[in-house]
């Protein structure tokens, strides 16, 4: 079965501290992996994506993610968190088949302490 | 700027009263999606159009319908909204053959 698991429902970090949000996936074919961010009451904004090639991908707002096939993981990282990063983060997996359907994880809510 | 637009941003309807949500995109994408996102949950795909071909997810209730009169516009019709249909409804689009979906800001539906 195709699925995405984000083990952490809620994470709190101090401003300036580093951040890692976990994502594990189960997907039968070669996965296309995404991280989206959602501010309260807003739609989803794409942070970064992985299709192939270099397993460390850079995204917007200083975020990066590393694809580890052996661990079926695609964790999101940021070296120094800003207060404006407080939001909900969704990991998603999809493919070129099935109309490009995305399967989302449950999301991780990030709070940032001053 | 090219984008995905959803109207209205907030919609209030009464139990059982039909409601239509609107989505348009200026990206000239041929694939459009409707997702339902309930509070504190992941977005869940309801259906999508690939050009004019409609693709319904197996577990999408019959209460939900969609129309795509042209490339730019896509509508979500809820025939008889129940309290359980209160959610954020997200529209997205992408170009066929590519892999990145672009999302609109969503419509928050309240059912009284």
B99 pLDDT band, cuts 50/70/90, is confident
Nearest CA distance, A16 vs chain B (angstrom):
26
| Cβ-proximal residues to A53 (8 Å cutoff; 6+ apart), any chain | none
Question: What's the CA gap between A42 and A38, in Å, rounded?
Answer: 6
φ, ψ of residue B69 to 5 degrees: the values are -70, -25
CB contact (8 A) between residue A43 and residue B101: no
Question: What's the CA gap between A43 and A113, in Å, rounded?
Answer: 24
Rounded mean pLDDT, B21-26: 96
Determine what percent of chain A is predicted with pLDDT higher than 70. Answer: 96
Tens digit of pLDDT for each residue in B42-71?
899 999 999 999 999 999 999 999 999 999
| Cβ-proximal residues to A28 (8 Å cutoff; 6+ apart), any chain | A2
End-to-end CA distance of chain A: 41
Mutate to test the interface with A, among B7, B49, B99, B104 (most CBs of A within 10 A): B99
């Amino acid at each position: 079965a195709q699925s995405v698991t984000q083990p952490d429902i809620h994470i709190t970090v101090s401003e300036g501290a580093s951040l890692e949000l976990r994502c594990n996936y189960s997907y039968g074919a070669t996965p296309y992996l995404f991280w989206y961010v959602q501010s309260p009451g807003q739609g989803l904004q794409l942070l970064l994506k992985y299709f192939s090639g270099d397993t460390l991908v850079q995204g917007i707002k200083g975020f990066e993610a590393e694809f580890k096939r052996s661990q079926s993981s695609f964790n999101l990282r940021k070296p120094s968190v800003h207060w404006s990063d407080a939001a909900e983060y969704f990991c998603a997996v999809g493919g070129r088949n099935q109309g490009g359907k995305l399967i989302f994880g449950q999301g991780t809510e990030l709070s940032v302490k001053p | 700027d090219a984008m995905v637009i959803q109207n209205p941003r907030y919609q209030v309807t009464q139990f059982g009263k039909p409601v239509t949500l609107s989505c348009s995109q200026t990206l000239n994408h041929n694939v459009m999606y409707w997702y339902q996102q309930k509070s504190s949950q992941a977005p869940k795909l309801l259906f999508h159009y690939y050009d004019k071909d409609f693709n319904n997810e197996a577990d999408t209730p019959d209460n939900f319908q969609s129309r795509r009169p042209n490339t730019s516009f896509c509508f979500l019709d809820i025939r008889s909204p129940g309290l359980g249909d209160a959610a954020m409804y997200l529209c997205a689009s992408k170009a066929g053959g590519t892999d990145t979906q672009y999302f609109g800001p969503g419509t928050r539906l309240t059912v009284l």
